[in-house]
Amino acid sequence: MAYSWDLPYLKEKTLVLSVNDREREVSLQEIGSLVPFKFPAGDASSIISIDVVAEGPTQVLVLADYDSKQSVFKQRTASQMTLVERDDSDRESTKEMIKDGFEIIDVDAVITFSFQIRLEGIGISVLNQRMQELIYVSMTGLELRYTDSNMYQSVNMMVKWLQIDNQLYGGSSPIILCPTQTPKDGKDAAAHPTLHSALVRAKDDTHGVVYFKYFSALLQELTVSMDEDFLYTLLEFSKFNVPGWTEDPSKIQLCDESLDVPEPVSKDDESQLFFEVLHLHPMKVNLSFMRSDHVNIEEAQQKTSSHNPIMYIFNVLTMAIGNIDAAPITLNALLLENVRASGPVLVDVLQRHYSQDFFYQLHLVVGSIEFLGNPVGLFNNLSSGVADFFYEPYQGFIMGDRPQDFGLGVVRGTSSLLKKTVFGFSDSIAKITGSVGKGLSAATMDKSFQERRRLGNQRNTPKHALSGFSKGATSLAQGVVSGVTGIVEQPLAGAQSGGVEGFFKGLGKAAVGVVTKPLVGVMDFTSNVTSGIRNTTTVFDRDQRRKRIPRHVPKNGILTMYDKSEALGQSWLKQVDSGQYFYDDYIAHLVLKGDNMVAMLTSKRIMVFRAENLKVEWELEFAEIQSIAPFPRGISITSRRDRQENFIPIFEQTSLTWFSGKIEEKVNQFNAELKPLE
């Protein structure tokens, strides 16, 4: 018989069976075999089995005669019922089952197949269309277990450590995703893995659904950080084609004007999934985003332009206020019982759940803006310090076995309060001044100045107060000098490229720069000093770094095995002389004996620099080279300009032959490309 609900607005709907003054409530959400229904029938009693089956979009309640041989439930004897009632009198679920006198037959599952994979570590390198390494995903302590029995299939996966690195050079966030809490040792990593998931599927095809007994997913607290340049590079890589973006708006129907209510129809290709328990644990994500210049995408895709005054002002403002630091987003747990849905519907439920949680916490994102000093982060640091101030002495007094534990607790609590207070206030001041300096830097309209400042901030992060003062003084001097020298250099550079019009444009940029660049220096000075004070409080904390240096891919685009030496050489080239040769293509390098010197060959020049401070000793472009002469102990290179001879000392014969061959090959290629032009 078909039925309809008497009270359809109730959240939990039950069907009531009534036989001879005996009632039984049945939930139609519980697909599968339920406890049989025992009711009086004259002088004796009768039993019917209850089963809930899915038939397309319909839930069907099947009532049949109870067959003890076929049913998974068996009747208890009177003595068993009395004994269990006496032992489990405080358990409501047990008393309910005892009332009908049935228990589940305990059938041991017979394992037919199982395997387990354990990997100490695995890495996945992702490259974009221009053969740049985009991200590197590293997982350690990866375990996967699969078990197949006559009743169930189970999958269990665990990852002790998960990290995603930004492999693009020039970015402000080298690590995109990693756990916030670093495990102390191997036991801690095993007890608190970054990712843990379990799935158990029942081999039951008689109820019209794909039957899952249990699904669980646990993700530890994560730190997610990315900048604008990486985000645009990721969008370029993915080439999103979202359905609906290209549709004609005139053809979109606002609502269906038909008043008929059709019967629900299930698609044949959409299998219905049923979960007895679906449990997604709560998650916390500390979200950071930095506005940045576009370094790794095509020039045609640059959205900011200094020729448009509106975009110029927008770029300056967003550079200052568009930076978010560690916004704490907490996503609540999701626990669903007896849920039946198709795959797309289930995904939609998850999306709505997490999107609502995120939008309800947008105020935390606003409160984490660096321009405001990250008030949310400041409050969390201060409250954590105050809590430690009272909690540590309490722990020493209650949990300690020695009299001095209370005193040690007082010391630890006071130290934590002072440390987190200094960290919080210095961090807020550093973020305010850094954001203002970033916006003023965008206002200078001097790309070379912005590039030097960006690379300098990345390479020379102050580790303590003294280095912060030194780095701040250097930034202040560079801002003042660049502003003064720009009065002469920028008009001349504009005249060389654009004639009279370029001269006046350069003059305008110089006028803006002479005011803004010293202000940038002042802001950078304050930011570096306060950052040094802040980092003094965390000098003993573990610093998270990339798992490996970004891969080097030759200019011909042929992907080869990862070479650590080539990756190191490319990394040096991107940073040497504060990024002055950032856009050169790496060819080869050779570490020289003595004084930590390195000889490097790029697509445009030969140079020698010091590896300890990445300062160039000398460099020559191919067009400036007069002659190259190999000697038994090195290579002599003569300059075309002043006939000065530069010598690369190489004492090992194999290295000399290899590096000489690389230079000869590149110079011959340069001459071949130059000859048609001549």
For the chain, report the end-to-end CA distance as a whole number of angstroms: 94
Would the pLDDT of 39 be above 60?
A: yes
Residue 419, pLDDT score: 81
In this structure, what token pair is assigned to residue 442?
A: 């965008």
596 shares a domain with 523: no
Q: Is residue 364 part of a domain?
A: no
Q: Is residue 2 part of a domain?
A: no
534 shares a domain with 483: yes
- Residue 657: give its domain's CATH number: 2.30.29.30
Residue range of the domain that includes 655: 564-674
- Interhelix angle 78-87/92-100, rounded to 10 degrees, is 170
Would the pLDDT of 255 be above 70?
A: no
Q: Is residue 460 part of a domain?
A: yes
Would the pLDDT of 245 be above 60?
A: no
Domain count, the chain: 3
pLDDT tens column, 395-435:
776 766 676 677 777 778 888 888 888 877 777 787 788 77
Boundary of a domain, candidates 80, 104, 128: 104
509 shares a domain with 585: no
Would the pLDDT of 461 be above 90?
A: no
Label residue 399 exposed, middle or buried (CB < 10 Å: 0-12, 13-18, 19+). exposed
CA 72 to chain centre: 47
| pTM as predicted | 0.75
pLDDT average, residue stretch 236-250: 63
Residue 279, pLDDT score: 95
Would the pLDDT of 99 be above 60?
A: no
Would the pLDDT of 228 be above 70?
A: yes
Boundary of a domain, candidates 63, 80, 104: 104
579 shares a domain with 499: no
Report yes or no: 32 and 59 within 8 Å, Cβ to Cβ. Answer: no
502 shares a domain with 583: no
568 shares a domain with 523: no
Cα–Cα distance, 40 to 46 (Å, whole number): 6
Boundary of a domain, candidates 41, 69, 104: 104
Residue 271 DSSP class: P
Residue 549, pLDDT score: 92
The helix/strand/coil state of 179 is: strand
449 shares a domain with 494: yes
663 shares a domain with 600: yes
Q: Is residue 456 part of a domain?
A: yes
535 shares a domain with 592: no
pLDDT average, residue stretch 565-569: 94
Give the pLDDT band of residue 83 (cuts 50, 70, 90): very low
Question: Which is more confident, 38 or 119?
Answer: 119
492 shares a domain with 587: no
530 shares a domain with 457: yes
Report yes or no: 423 and 381 within 8 Å, Cβ to Cβ. Answer: yes
pLDDT average, residue stretch 558-563: 91
Cα–Cα distance, 200 to 594 (Å, whole number): 62
Q: Is residue 198 part of a domain?
A: no
Total length of the chain = 678
Q: Is residue 655 part of a domain?
A: yes
Q: Is residue 594 part of a domain?
A: yes
pLDDT average, residue stretch 128-137: 90
Report yes or no: 556 and 510 within 8 Å, Cβ to Cβ. Answer: no
Would the pLDDT of 249 be above 60?
A: no
454 shares a domain with 531: yes
Residue 307, pLDDT score: 60
Q: Is residue 252 part of a domain?
A: no
